[in-house]
Amino acid sequence: MAGQSDSTMSLFSSEEIEFMAEDEMTEIVPNLRMDSLNFICGDYGPFLPQLAAQVPLWLALALKKRGKCTIRLPQWMSVENLTRVLEAERDSHAFQPLPFHYIEISRLLFDHAREDIPDMYMVRSLVEDIRDVRFHKVETNLEKFTASTVTWKNMSAMEVNVIRAFAGRALQAFYKHDNEQQTPDTDRALDKQPQIPTDRPKRNLKPR
Amino acid sequence: MATEESASVMDDYEMLISTTDVELLKRAWRNEKAAPEILQFESSLVQRIKEQIELAEQNEEIFEANNIEPLTVSLYQMDLDRTQFLLRSYLRVRLQKIEKYLFYVLKTDEYLNRLSKQEQMFARRCTDYLGSHLDETVLAKLPDNYRSILKQSITSEEDDMVPAPRLDTFVICKAKQYLSGLDFEPEYSMEITEMERDLLTFVCYKFVKKPLENGKIDLV
């Protein structure tokens, strides 16, 4: 993909984005009795069998892996909703509202909680289709931007991260050239504002 | 629209629960990673987090002594691991930035004051070592006029061998509330006039430096 350059260029690794996604709240139905957990990141529980509880995704997955709960599929991951989103996604240029971390959340649930997802294959292929349509949109959007600020509604974490390096540098170049047109004498502009930082030191020695 | 309304209710809910120190640290970590320059060290936040980590470590010993269920213990361990990861990563990103802009940070008071005491010590020692290394390997062998670490030659008026952070880097940010022109620096009033809440915006870092420092936007 266009934005996929050197991995050190993208600010957040996919693992780091997954780490952030794991803090999203998820509903679980525990099958054990457990006292409240007073974590550094917040208090959860107490847990009683068959009583739904809200916990961060990482905790839900940890309990799930030990067979201590079932995870309730988030409402946006229902087949009806995903079908609707996919259609709207295809019909419009805009991005449909989805959780910021929809790719990571769905991926984690597919990997670790497949038996809790009714119509697993349907859900999975819908999410993949949505992702493809959206990534395609991201790519075509890249052809369009020109302004010095660009806004996107409802773009998700992974999508942002993929285009970050490429789009960032492109916009920076636009910005630089725009300003050059206004102040053709860049050397003088630099002298006036020595604060304007440059990553690379000037190669040429002072002409004087 | 119904979906939009429920989204904003969800956001308010998120705002309410997102006030834990871990959440604040995560925000600081994200901002620090995304910003081209080094930001103010979150000293009281880091202090609080450190205390909470110590407390959790003590609790762990108590759990072991009291034969608490291994499942519970392991969950507490996970929570501890996550917080420690965040803290380490935050500190590490800052060290990387300090190393990258070492000489610039040291000669700019504004930046130097953003560092913690330990970071300042680190920066000074790093400069000493790097300086003497460069002296020994290269600079001492050059003609007199070219021996400065900071300048290309003694005819340079500025320190033109010191890389500085590029404030015209583009960053992606999200406003926590609607921002009007007053929230931005007046000198950029031509470039940026407002920012809608929750809209992802690709923008030149220096335009949004002020609202970022005031905690009105987050970098993502």
A118: domain CATH number? 1.20.58.1020
Tokens of A123: 């859900």
CA–CA separation, B45 and A200 (whole Å): 34
> Which of A58, A148, A168 lies at the smallest CB-CB distance from B169?
A168
The domain tally of chain A equals 2
- A150 and A99 share a domain? yes
- Which is higher by pLDDT, B164 or A152? B164
Phi, psi angle pair for A54, to nearest 5°? -100, 125
Provide DSSP, A132-154: HHHHHHHHHHHHH--SSSEEESS
Please report which confidence band the pLDDT of residue A200 belongs to, taking 50, 70 and 90 as the band edges: very low
Question: What integer pLDDT is reported at residue A32 of this predicted model?
Answer: 94
Question: What integer pLDDT is reported at residue A193 of this predicted model?
Answer: 41
**Nearest by Cα to A98 from A137, A67, A63:** A137
Contact present, B38 and B90 (Cβ < 8 Å): no
Question: What integer pLDDT is reported at residue B6 of this predicted model?
Answer: 52
Tokens of B116: 């913690």
- A34 and A85 share a domain? no
Q: Which CATH number fits domain B166-220: 3.30.420.40, 3.40.5.60, 3.10.20.810, 2.30.30.100?
A: 3.40.5.60
- A41 and A59 share a domain? yes
- A68 and A78 share a domain? no
On whether ipTM exceeds 0.90, the answer is: no
Tokens of B26: 């995560």
Residue ranges of alpha helices (H) inside chain A are 14-21, 57-65, 79-91, 102-112, 120-144, 157-182, 186-192
CA–CA separation, B99 and B101 (whole Å): 6
Place of tokens 């946006």: A76
Please report which confidence band the pLDDT of residue A165 belongs to, taking 50, 70 and 90 as the band edges: confident
Chain A contact for B178 (CB, 8 A cutoff): no
| B39, amino acid identity | L
Question: What integer pLDDT is reported at residue A164 of this predicted model?
Answer: 86
- Which is higher by pLDDT, B82 or B193? B82
Using the CB atoms, write b or e for B153-167: b if 16+ within 10 Å: beebeebbebebbbb
Phi, psi angle pair for B18, to nearest 5°? -90, 25
The conformation of residue A25, written as its DSSP 8-state character, comes to E
CA–CA separation, A76 and A79 (whole Å): 8
Tell me the chain A residues in contact with residue B101 when contact means C-beta distances shorter than 8 Å: none
Residue B112, pLDDT above cutoff 80: yes
CA–CA separation, B112 and B120 (whole Å): 7
The conformation of residue B171, written as its DSSP 8-state character, comes to E
Please report which confidence band the pLDDT of residue B181 belongs to, taking 50, 70 and 90 as the band edges: confident
Report the chain B residue with the minimal C-alpha distance to residue A19: B82
- A93 and A60 share a domain? no
Least confident span in A174-183, B58-67, B92-101, B131-140:
A174-183
With respect to residue A87, please indicate whether it lies within any of the assigned structural domains.
yes
The model's pLDDT over B39-98, given as tens digits with 9 standing for 90+, comes to: 999 999 999 999 999 999 999 889 988 888 999 999 999 999 999 999 999 999 999 999
- A91 and A179 share a domain? yes
Please report which confidence band the pLDDT of residue A185 belongs to, taking 50, 70 and 90 as the band edges: very low
- A49 and A133 share a domain? no
User: A160–B49: do the CB atoms touch at under 8 Å?
Assistant: no
User: A149–B192: do the CB atoms touch at under 8 Å?
Assistant: yes
Alpha carbon of B192: minimum distance to chain A alpha carbons (Å): 8
Question: What integer pLDDT is reported at residue B13 of this predicted model?
Answer: 56
Question: What integer pLDDT is reported at residue B12 of this predicted model?
Answer: 57
With respect to residue A194, please indicate whether it lies within any of the assigned structural domains.
no
Residue B128, pLDDT above cutoff 70: yes
Across A35-56, average pLDDT: 95
Phi, psi angle pair for A34, to nearest 5°? -150, 140
Residue A162, pLDDT above cutoff 90: no
- A61 and A120 share a domain? no
- A67 and A77 share a domain? no
The model's pLDDT over A66-96, given as tens digits with 9 standing for 90+, comes to: 999 999 999 999 999 999 999 999 999 889 9
C-alpha neighbours within 13 Å on the C-beta side of residue A178: 12
Tell me the chain B residues in contact with residue A59 when contact means C-beta distances shorter than 8 Å: 75, 78
Contact present, B187 and A129 (Cβ < 8 Å): no
Least confident span in A46-60, A85-99, A147-161:
A147-161
Alpha carbon of B157: minimum distance to chain A alpha carbons (Å): 9
Question: What integer pLDDT is reported at residue B53 of this predicted model?
Answer: 97
Question: What integer pLDDT is reported at residue A139 of this predicted model?
Answer: 86
Alpha carbon of A125: minimum distance to chain B alpha carbons (Å): 23
Question: What integer pLDDT is reported at residue B18 of this predicted model?
Answer: 53
Domain region containing A29: 12-72
Contact present, B30 and B54 (Cβ < 8 Å): no
C-alpha neighbours within 13 Å on the C-beta side of residue A81: 12
With respect to residue A86, please indicate whether it lies within any of the assigned structural domains.
yes
Residue B107: count of CB within 10 angstroms of its CB:
14
The model's pLDDT over B10-38, given as tens digits with 9 standing for 90+, comes to: 555 555 555 799 999 999 999 999 999 99
Residue B175, pLDDT above cutoff 60: yes
- Which is higher by pLDDT, A99 or B7? A99
What percentage of chain A has pLDDT greater than the value 70?
Answer: 79
With respect to residue A2, please indicate whether it lies within any of the assigned structural domains.
no
What are the residues facing B179 on neighbouring strands? B195
- A80 and A63 share a domain? no
Give me the CATH number covering residue A20: 3.40.5.50
Question: What integer pLDDT is reported at residue A182 of this predicted model?
Answer: 58
Tokens of B113: 């004051």
CA–CA separation, B104 and B164 (whole Å): 6
With respect to residue A146, please indicate whether it lies within any of the assigned structural domains.
yes
- A68 and A79 share a domain? no
Query: Residue A127, class by beta-carbon neighbours within 10 Å (0-12 exposed, 13-18 middle, 19+ buried)?
Result: buried
User: A37–B76: do the CB atoms touch at under 8 Å?
Assistant: yes
Across B123-134, average pLDDT: 94
Question: What integer pLDDT is reported at residue A6 of this predicted model?
Answer: 41
With respect to residue A137, please indicate whether it lies within any of the assigned structural domains.
yes
Q: Could you tell me how many CB contacts below 8 A there are between chain A and chain B?
A: 134
Across B89-118, average pLDDT: 95
The model's pLDDT over A7-39, given as tens digits with 9 standing for 90+, comes to: 445 689 989 999 999 999 999 999 999 999 999
Contact present, B89 and A54 (Cβ < 8 Å): no
- Which is higher by pLDDT, B5 or A70? A70
Tokens of B132: 């003497």
| B169, amino acid identity | T
Residue A186, pLDDT above cutoff 60: no
With respect to residue A180, please indicate whether it lies within any of the assigned structural domains.
yes
What is the three-class DSSP state of B204?
strand
- A46 and A66 share a domain? yes
Question: What integer pLDDT is reported at residue B17 of this predicted model?
Answer: 52
Question: What integer pLDDT is reported at residue B154 of this predicted model?
Answer: 85
**Nearest by Cα to B4 from A97, A90, A42, A74:** A97
**Nearest by Cα to B88 from B122, B54, B61, B49:** B49
Alpha carbon of B80: minimum distance to chain A alpha carbons (Å): 7
